[in-house]
Amino acid sequence: MVDTKVTLSGIELDNPVIPASGTFGFGYEFADLYDINMLGTFSFKGTTKDPRFGNPTPRIAETPSGMLNSVGLQNPGVEKVISEELPKLKKCFSKPVMANVSGFAVEDYAYTCQMLDKENQIGWFEVNISCPNVHGGGLAFGTSAKNAENVTKAVKKVTNKPVYIKLSPNVTDITEIAKACEAAGADGISLINTLLGMRIDLKTKKPILANKMGGFSGAAIKPVALRMVYQVYEAVKIPIIGMGGITTAEDVIEMMLAGATAVEVGAANLVEPFACKKIIEDLPRAMEKYRINSLKEIIGGAH
């Protein structure tokens, strides 16, 4: 019997497979399709202090081996997440869940995490610092080591739960940002978020997305994600959740060899709602094929 269990900041997961934020709603939408308790956990929809309608449509564009999205963090706001979404989730998911939090000012992040901190269902925070800093000229928090450090410190002050900072790949040196987060007290790093991409409609000769540019995800970005996870594993001592282009059990193993303790599956859920279920069911076969007895033993094995 192979052992698929991993431990993420003191919390044991039955397997390392985690649906990524923005691709799995608040979980109960998928619970009608299969028992989501088979997942390691999942990262729920990016939650902000105030409700957000999101960006104008069209928000989605297909690309070869991937997709572009410019949803714009559409969510009901933290108060509604607590009063409406989490009670619905509790009925179908008995494990600790990962709370994905976004913001446009340091105070936003701290406020949202402080509100969610009281919820027993939440096991970890995943703090998305790929948002534009409205007080800092609009550049994403994740493109500046100082801004990343400030957000990490602010969130760590309001919670004792593990805090994972989700990094943007749209930087020159990903390790500089990861090290700044670690120094500021982050319990772990999540990477990568989407790359910046674009499509143009040949008929209208205009960008397909209303926002012109959007987040590029899917199988095509896996080599970039693997490279960055590999680099960050060498740069920090805290655990990593790896993501970017994961579609198979073999992809999970490859990402763990690069240095990930757990692995998120994003765009694949939007193409195939059963993607995570199939990956989890296929993991024992892939482990046996590559003579892996325990997934814990292969973390960072490629170094």
So where are the chain's domains?
6-298
The model's confidence at residue 240, banded by pLDDT at 50, 70 and 90, is very high
Give the tens place of pLDDT for each residue, 171-219: 999 999 999 999 999 999 999 999 999 999 999 999 999 999 999 999 9
pLDDT at 133: 76
pLDDT at 24: 98
Residue 139, pLDDT > 80, answer no
Residue 137, pLDDT > 80, answer no
pLDDT at 257: 99
181 annotated active-site: no
pLDDT at 46: 97
Tokens representing 268?
A: 């694949």
Indicate the pTM of the whole model: 0.97
pLDDT at 132: 74
Averaged pLDDT, 107-114: 98
C-alpha distances in Å from residue 188, one per residue of 66, 102, 290: 27, 17, 28
Exactly one of 113, 131, 181, 276 is catalytic; name it.
131
Residue 120, pLDDT > 90, answer yes
pLDDT at 138: 72
The model's confidence at residue 32, banded by pLDDT at 50, 70 and 90, is very high
pLDDT at 134: 73
Q: What's 6-298's CATH class?
A: alpha beta
